Structure 1
């Protein structure tokens, strides 16, 4: 990672959004994250945490403010464009294609990249997250933890610089949460991937986050 870009690697400035006439969901939000850093964002339900991630990944369009990535304004970049630029995103509920197998899902993820990614990239990414399920298994037979691993494998194939995660421990037992923590620590400290984690339980961030930002009522 170019150290020249560390200061403005990924940030948002004065982000505000108004959804459905409910008033401002987010009000003048400012955050920044450095390469290899784990940043936690915590707050009660309805604080605006998920809305912020939706803006950062390009799914929502903010009313005011800027999103900066590697010193460039990416306000005009759509969700798929930001993904190809190196911004990964996971969801609270790990939704996978129900009509595909694990292997077919990873093939689709490889072909979504231009040029297509080789199968060895999928194998390497699966190894990183300890995803050992046979590739012939249908996605419908995967439990929550392996669904999360499948989606993380799809993201890591693209060698992201930052991953935005919405409650990655949701639906997991303690042993699985510990494994997630270890994986994220490895990705950040050994591979220099920045990780932004949205959570509403402080105990899940205490052992992994370098910094924690508290959000409430959209600010």
Structure 2
């Protein structure tokens, strides 16, 4: 079971793919209203852990929890319906659809269907200011990320998994992203986990940070403490960023 007060996480996850061990006895947890950072060198297993948490991969051992509910045998679609939302490093959108058509498809994707009001609320929440008649494929990277976030947020998720959300953004956009994610956590009580190499983003908004190396957790704690940890310095800062 998760620690008292935790909303979402995993315990003792072991994952092997193609005969190779990817994750070894990995545990983490996040509370509602908390922003959790996940860092580590390339190949550490961060994205594979997200695949386990979101339901694309099922671990050979260990468990995934949302509140008191075991998720580890549920598929990715059932987890989404329970409130586990995810974004990817590349903000892939339906290029030929307009913003309005994309939001309409998202709100009608599964029951209960969301209203047009829900889509309008979500677009305002993420500060997506582009015309809804504009094609999604014409948006810049940050607005694509905002569109995808709007599609997720209209469903009022409980957990948000984000894989390198600052990738491709400039400093002013990262600052706006900081404020947006803290708003999600503080006002809407989302539990947020970020995979991120931009440590300035994590230093600004993360409450805690976990560090993966070679498929195992090697450190956890406040960002300023974790970034100074000798094991983290050796595995992350001295390795491949």
Contact 1:42 1:201 survives alignment (8 Å):
no
Alignment deviations for residues 149-185 of structure 1 (CA, whole Å, 9 cap, x no partner): 0000000000011100000000000000100010000
Indicate the SS of the match to 2:179: helix
Structure 1 segments, 4+ long, off by >4 Å, are: none
Task: Select which of 143, 147, 164 maps to 1:146.
Answer: 143
Counterpart in the other structure of 2:230: none
Pair 1:20 & 2:18 matched: yes
CA RMSD of aligned residues (A): 1.2
Q: CA 1:215/1:160 → structure 2, altered by over 3 Å: closer, same or farther? A: same
Residue equivalent to 1:7 = 5
Whether contact under 8 Å (1:58, 1:78) holds in the other structure is yes
Out of 198, 205, 209, the residue aligned to residue 201 of structure 1 is 198
- The secondary structure found in structure 2 opposite 1:187 is helix
Unmatched tracts of structure 1, length 5 or more: none
DSSP-derived class of the 2:5 partner: coil
**TM-superposed deviation, 1:29:** 0.3
Match in the other structure for 1:37: 34
Q: Which has the higher contact order (CA 8 A, sep 6+)?
A: 1
Residues 1:156 and 2:153 are matched in the alignment: yes
2:71 aligned residue (60, 67, 74): 74
C-alpha separation between the residues in 2 aligned to 1:102 and 1:20?
A: 40
**1:51 offset after TM fit, Å?**
0.6
| TM-score normalized by the length of structure 1 | 0.94
Q: Give 2:123's match in structure 1, choosing from 106, 122, 126.
A: 126
- The 1-side partners of 2:73 and 2:109 are apart by 21
Q: Is the CA contact 1:45–1:200 (under 8 Å) kept in the aligned structure 2?
A: no
For the 8 Å contact 2:166–2:198, the answer to whether it is kept is: no
Deviation for aligned residue 1:8: 4.1
Q: 1:20 Cα deviation (Å)? A: 2.0
* Cα displacement (A) at 1:202: 2.1
Matches of 2:183 and 2:44, distance apart in 1? 29
What runs of 5+ residues in structure 2 fail to find an aligned partner? 217-241
Q: Verify the 8 A CA contact 1:8 1:68 in the aligned structure 2.
A: no
Q: Distance in 2 between matches of 1:201 and 1:150?
A: 22
CA distance in 2, matches of 1:30, 1:200: 21
Aligned residues: 214
